[in-house]
């Protein structure tokens, strides 16, 4: 396998082929993907659609260098300065996202941002007709962009495993990697 190290920082990556999800299957996302210098905002998003009423929720937790924690999500604030949640959507054919202001994160001495998504309706991701998540790079907060446009989507992941919740990833602000 050849990996172009232009977009990946191997020194900050962790690849352990023995790690597995609780329901089976190997964890395949241990690469530290570089955030381009031109990116001012990162959007963590999810889209879902099903004939049934499905509610997928996103959460973002930022931790500053003193250990102070801030949380945005359906059961918390929608905005905290560094993180902005799009709002809780409780039906199918919907999108939620969390925007991360990278400049403000540096100013606020944010160390990391942890990202999580879960099925509030307790339906495993594998039993939902369409559900995916991903990361986009944006030039401004609340920018309207197409979730399928490869020009701004760093990665997209179809959620086809049996879990109802996943701690999806972490943004390392100082090292500008995700």
The DSSP secondary-structure symbol of 100 reads E
CA–CA separation, 20 vs 156, rounded Å? 20
Kindly tell me if the per-residue pLDDT of 156 is higher than 50.
Answer: yes
The encoded tokens of residue 79 equal 């905005």
| pLDDT tens digits, 63-106 | 999 999 988 877 766 777 789 888 877 788 888 889 999 999 99
The residue among 46, 130, 50 whose CA lies nearest residue 86 is 46
The encoded tokens of residue 51 equal 């004939």
CA–CA separation, 129 vs 113, rounded Å? 29
| pLDDT tens digits, 14-45 | 555 555 555 544 444 567 778 888 888 888 88
Q: What is the pLDDT of residue 159?
A: 87
CA dihedral (29, 34, 36, 37) in degrees, to 10, reads 140
Read off the pTM. Answer: 0.78
CA–CA separation, 85 vs 75, rounded Å? 11
The encoded tokens of residue 81 equal 């300065």
């Amino acid at each position: 396998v050849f990996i172009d190290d232009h977009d990946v920082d191997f020194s900050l990556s962790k690849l352990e082929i023995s790690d597995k999800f609780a329901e089976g299957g190997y964890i395949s996302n241990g690469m530290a993907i570089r955030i381009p210098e031109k990116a001012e905002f990162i959007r963590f998003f999810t889209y879902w659609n099903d004939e049934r009423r499905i509610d997928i929720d996103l959460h973002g937790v930022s931790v500053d260098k003193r250990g102070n924690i801030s949380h945005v999500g359906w059961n918390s604030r929608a905005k905290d300065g560094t993180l902005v949640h799009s709002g809780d959507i409780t039906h199918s054919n919907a999108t939620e996202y969390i925007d991360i202001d990278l400049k403000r994160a540096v100013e606020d001495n944010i160390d990391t941002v942890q990202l999580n998504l879960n099925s509030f309706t307790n339906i495993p991701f594998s039993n939902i007709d369409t559900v995916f998540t991903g990361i986009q790079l944006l030039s401004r907060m609340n920018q309207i962009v197409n979730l399928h446009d490869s020009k701004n989507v760093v990665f997209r992941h179809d959620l086809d495993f049996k879990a109802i919740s996943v701690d999806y990833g972490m943004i390392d602000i100082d090292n500008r990697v995700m």
